Amino acid sequence: MLISVVILLYTFLILYIYGQGLVALFERIFTKSSQIPLPFILIIGLMTVTTLASIASIFIRINWEFQAFLLLGALALVLLVLRRKVSLPKASLRQFSLLQKVGLVFCGLSMLLLLYAATLAPSNPDTGIYHAQAIHWIESYPAVPGLANLHERLGYDSSWLVATAIFSFSYLKVQSFHLLAAAFFLILAGYGYQGIHELLGKKYRLSNFLKLGFFLSIFIFQFDQISSPGTDSPTTLLIWFIVAQTIQFFEEGQAADELQGFFLILLGFYCITIKISSAPILLLALGLMLVLRYFKNSRALWTAVIGAFVVLIPFVVRNFILTGYPVFPGFPINLFHFDWAFPVSSVKAESSVIHWFATLHGVQIERFYTMSLRAQLTQWYGSLLPRYKAILLFIGAAALLNIVLCVFKKWRTLIRNNWKFVIVYLTVIAGCVFWLLSAPAFRFGFGFILAAVFLLGAPVCVFLVEKIDLLARVTPWLVLLGCIALVGLNVKPYVKIAKVPDTLVMPAAYPTWSSEPCGFGNFKLLCQAGYDSCWYSPFPCAIQGNEHVMMRGKDYRDGFRNVP
């Protein structure tokens, strides 16, 4: 845990410098701007260093060389841009109520729980199947042409894996650390707690209730993922942040704040580079452009277009190099016929397998594709865990309640005063529909599903506390006691006091499972033995051999191709 704290502090420092540096640079373009919150700055910094690493990874490995570049860049930003910009928010405990002071203690304990969970061994099975190996490839080589031919999952490119390689410090020869997820969890938990703190101070705004819901969801639905460099959780957390911050953006009357709006737009594009299934979030980016009237401000419009281009292009180029396609595996058209391209028939098969496995993997795939869509979804719903069924039922019931409440004038006034929120609601609805029709495994859809839950439930909470005086008085107590109870009950199964000394100094490394030699067309590798996972080492490692896969040259850097 001690080493984890050092790495996390370094990570936060780098993210803050690059985030604040980018804000300072763009303040010269956007004249209408306000103070950007600290969590927002850190996420902007994450987007910045990830984009830089994604560009660099096309040409070099992400190892000590890039780390040196990152440090030099940070030093230059501090000296040239940030001399008058480095400042942290200040607050006095005297300004806080008793409940808020107790809440701060609860927040500190919650952060310690997240830190503890971050030191455990990764539990996400996909990390063993391909995340860890993909990170090892990024640490060892520039983007490798046709890497997907070695194992199709290695073609599932994500900027999150590139970002994890930045802060893995594998060149220290200790282990490849996987603590970036922990940094992101801590940032979002701190951001969520801001809403709780405001609620304890009886500030009943929609964004505060959203932050409360997302804070609790971290511990209820995502807590076991904090030690894994998987792509589902960061996508989920980033969607939650964009939704909550956009609502707060409108609540505070910041529609004229072009700078915050600009960064929210860029984060939408950054989100899909982490996982392409978050694509509906781009509807929110488009909506923000309309609300901010970018179509009447050519300077702001072109800045946003160029910014989105810079964020997206490295992701697309890496996809072309790794697979031969701009998006993988959802784009089964071989545009340029690169000799390393993954076979089109295999791309189509992979897409089909994803949809089948996420929907109804208990049914044979052949039978699944003979079923009607209605039959698939009916059987899918019947196979869900009870709490997931309850979530979907809540969305339907809450939507109906929102309609029924229109009989109250105060409710209609609330809706009319916040009409701009409609772009957030439409985005989340589109995200839920896209998830349902493409790959409806709940872990893929938590970002949009739980955003829908809290977007429908939070206005009802605001309406009730404004209408019922007694409820307004007891809400802070309900919030604090509810948070303590829910967090405590949900993390209890994961906390093993007797095992804390095992990770007190060093976080757990990736597991190492047995392997055995396997054959490819003109080379041999080690493959997993009796499992479906290679984890981080041995390296390189594949799930199984394939006599149709050839090396394109004498070195792994030259890539791989598939020979029919």
Q: How far apart are CA 232 and CA 124, in angstroms?
A: 10
> What is d(CA 7, CA 175) in angstroms, rounded to the nearest whole number?
13
In sequence order, what are the beta bridge partners of 561? Answer: 550
Helical packing angle, 180-200 and 206-221, nearest 10° = 140
Give the whole-angstrom CA distance, residue 327 versus residue 330.
6
Amino acid occupying residue 6: V
* Angle (nearest 5°) at CA 138 between 136 and 142: 135
What is the distance between the alpha carbons of residues 264 and 43, in angstroms, rounded to a whole number?
10
CA angle 38, 43, 46 (to 5 degrees): 130
Q: Measure the CA–CA gap between 387 and 489, rounded to whole angstroms.
A: 15
Q: In this model, does residue 496 exceed pLDDT 70?
A: yes
Which range of 180-194, 526-540, 542-556 scores highest in mean pLDDT? It is 180-194
Q: What's the angle, vertex CA 347, arms to CA 344 and CA 348, rounded to 5? A: 90
pLDDT of 529 over the 90 cut: no
Q: Work out the burial of residue 217: count CB atoms within 10 Å of its CB; fewer than 13 is exposed, 13-18 middle, 19 or more buried.
A: buried
Angle value at C-alpha 479, between 474 and 485, nearest 5 degrees:
120
Q: Among 115-124, 165-174, 318-327, 529-538, name the one with the lowest average pLDDT.
A: 529-538
Q: Which residues contact 312 (CB under 8 A, 6 or more apart)?
A: 269, 272, 273
Q: What token pair was written down for 251?
A: 């609540």
Joined together, the tokens standing for residue 147 give 């890497």
| DSSP count for the chain of H helices, then E strands | 21, 5
Quick one: average pLDDT of 156-163?
Answer: 96
Sheet arrangement for strand 515-519: 515-519, 524-528, 541-542
Q: What is the pLDDT of residue 84?
A: 57
Confidence of residue 270 (pLDDT cuts 50, 70, 90): very high
pLDDT band at 307; cut points 50, 70, 90:
very high
Question: Are the CB atoms for 53 and 67 separated by under 8 Å?
Answer: no
Question: How confident is the model over 287-314, as a mean pLDDT?
Answer: 85
Cα angle 242-318-548, degrees, rounded to a multiple of 5: 130
The C-alpha atoms of residue 235 and residue 248 are separated, in whole angstroms, by: 20
Q: How far is CA 517 from CA 359, 510, 525, in A?
A: 34, 21, 6
DSSP code per residue over 84-151 = TT-------GGGS-HHHHHHHHHHHHHHHHHHHHHTSPP--HHIIIIIHHHHHHHHHSSPPTTGGGT-
Separation between Cα atoms, residue 330 and residue 40, nearest integer Å: 31
**Whole-angstrom distance, CA of residue 187 vs CA of residue 122:** 20
Please report the pLDDT score of residue 91 as a whole number: 62
Q: What's the average model confidence in pLDDT over 204-226? A: 95
Asked if 431 contacts 451 with a C-beta cutoff of 8 angstroms, the reply is yes
Neighbours of 26 (CB within 10 A): 18
Read off the pLDDT band of 163 (50, 70, 90).
very high
Quote the distance between the C-alpha of residue 23 and its chain's center: 21
Q: Does residue 418 have a pLDDT over 90?
A: no
Mean of all residue pLDDT scores within the chain: 91
CA distance 78 to 20: 10
Structure confidence at residue 28 (pLDDT): 77
Burial label for 496, CB within 10 Å (0-12, 13-18, 19+), is: exposed
pLDDT for residue 296 is more than 70: yes
Statement: residue 330 has pLDDT above 90 = no
Report which DSSP code applies to 332: -
Give whichever of 143-147, 402-406, 436-440 has the largest mean pLDDT.
143-147
Banded model confidence at residue 293, pLDDT cuts 50, 70, 90: confident
User: What is the structure's pLDDT at 299?
Assistant: 78
pLDDT at residue number 157: 93
CA of residue 484 relative to chain centroid, distance:
25
Cα distance between residue 410 and residue 463, in whole Å: 8
pLDDT digits (tens, 9 = 90+) for 43-98: 999 999 999 999 999 999 999 999 999 999 999 999 887 765 555 556 667 788 88
Q: What are phi and psi of 91, to 5 degrees?
A: -155, 150
pTM: 0.95
Q: What is the pLDDT of residue 492?
A: 87
pLDDT at 88: 55
Exposure class string for 287-296: b at 16+ Cβ within 10 A, else e: bbbeebebee
Token pair 């009796």: residue: 530
The Cα 444–Cα 11 span in angstroms is 27
Distance CA 101, CA 88 (A): 20
Which residue, 508, 528, 510, 509, is CA-closest to 518? 528
* Integer Cα distance of 191 and 214 in angstroms: 9
**pLDDT beyond 80 at 5:** yes
Which region among 21-30, 112-121, 555-564 has the lowest average model confidence (pLDDT)?
Answer: 21-30
